[in-house]
Amino acid sequence: MTTPSMTPPIATPITAADRDAGAAWLAPAKLNLMLRVVGRREDGYHELQTVFQFIDRCDRLWFDLREDGRIRRLNDVAGVAEHDDLTVRAALALQRATGCTLGADIRCEKNLPMGGGLGGGSSDAATTLVALNRLWNTGLDEDALSEIALPLGADVPVFVRGRAAWAEGVGERLVPVELPQTWFLVLAPACFVSTRSVFSHPQLTRNSDPIKLADFLSGNIVNDCLPVVRREYPPVAAALEWLSAWGDSRLTGTGGCVFASFDDRERAVAACRQSPAGMSGFVAQGLNRSPLFVRADRESG
C-alpha cells in the first residue's frame, strides 16, 4: 500500500487539447473489490469499508464553453431529467463554489450501464468537475473539488482524486492503494438495481465487523450487499452462478454488474465469448490511476 499526498493542485494552464471540442474527457467505471457495511449513522447513511479500483471501460464527455453562464445537457439520458443529471448538478455546484460566470454545453456518450454498480453517474460528475475546473480556470485543488463532489454522491470523491483506494465512512475517507492491475470479465445483467432499495432492505447485514486492508489483501472479499441482490434480482443471481465456474464471482457495489478476475486478457476474453446468449459482458483491465488523469499526469511531467 502506498499513501501519497492527496492534495496536489489539478488545475493547470489550458492546452490546445483542452480547447479541442473533439477531445473527449474520460469517465471510467469502478469496481468495488469488496464491500462491508459496518454500521448505520443517525442520519440514515451506512458506514462502509470498501476497496475501489478503476477499469478501462469509460463514458466519454465533451464540454463546449459558453459566455452566458448557462449549463445545458445536449443529449438525452433515459429516465434522467436534465436538472437531475449529475453532470449538470456538478457544473452548477462548481459555479456556485467559485463564482465562475462561464457556462458549458455538456454531451455524454454513455458506455456504462445505469444501475450496474460501476459508478457511471458519479464518474461523469467527477469528470465534469475536473474538466470544468481546468476549462474555466477556477484553480481548485483535489481537496476543494472533493468537498464539492461529496454532496453529489458518496462515490464521486474517489473519481475526483483518481487513485485506487481503501475507503471508509460513507466512502469518502480514502487511502490510496496499489493493487494488481489484473483483467476482469464484467457481466451486466439486464436489470436495474436500486442502491436505495438495497440499503433499505430489512435483510441487509449492517453490523459486519470492521477489517483491515491486510485482511482484504489476504482474501477477505465479502460484499455484504450480495445476498440481498442475489435474492431480489434473479438475473444477477444467474450471472453470478455462471461466472462462478471461472473463479470467485463478485458483485460490484450494490450491483447489478458482477465480475471475476483473470491473470491474463486472453483467458478473460475466452470466458466472455462463452457467456450465455442474452448475457451482456465485456473485458476490462483494472487500473490504479484513473484514465481521466493520464493526460494531466503526462503534461505535468
pLDDT confidence of residue 9: 30
Q: How many CB atoms lie within 10 A of CB 218?
A: 10
Does residue 255 have a known ligand-binding role? no
* Catalytic position from the list 68, 155, 209, 212: 155
pLDDT string in tens for the chain (301-residue length) = 333 333 333 333 334 444 444 589 999 999 999 999 999 988 878 999 999 999 999 999 999 999 999 999 999 888 899 999 999 999 999 999 999 999 999 999 999 998 899 999 999 999 999 999 999 999 999 999 999 999 999 999 999 999 999 999 988 899 999 999 999 999 999 889 999 999 999 999 999 999 999 999 999 999 999 999 999 999 999 999 999 999 999 999 998 999 999 999 999 999 999 998 888 999 999 999 999 997 555 545 4
pLDDT confidence of residue 132: 98
Give CA–CA dist 247/231, Å, rounded: 21
- Grid cell 436534465 in the structure block, residue: 82
212 is catalytic: no
Does residue 114 have a known ligand-binding role? yes
Domains within the chain, CATH numbers bracketed: 16-178 (3.30.230.10), 183-287 (3.30.70.890)
Does residue 119 have a known ligand-binding role? yes
30 is catalytic: yes
Q: Is-contact 268 283, C-beta < 8 A?
A: yes
Bond before 153 cis per omega within 30 degrees: no
Give CA–CA dist 11/136, Å, rounded: 10
Is the pTM above the cut of 0.85? yes
* Catalytic position from the list 30, 59, 85, 124: 30
Does residue 194 have a known ligand-binding role? no
235-244 as b/e: b if 16+ CB within 10 A? bbbbbbebbe
Does residue 249 have a known ligand-binding role? no
Q: How many CB atoms lie within 10 A of CB 221?
A: 16
pLDDT confidence of residue 77: 87
pLDDT confidence of residue 20: 45
Does residue 169 have a known ligand-binding role? no
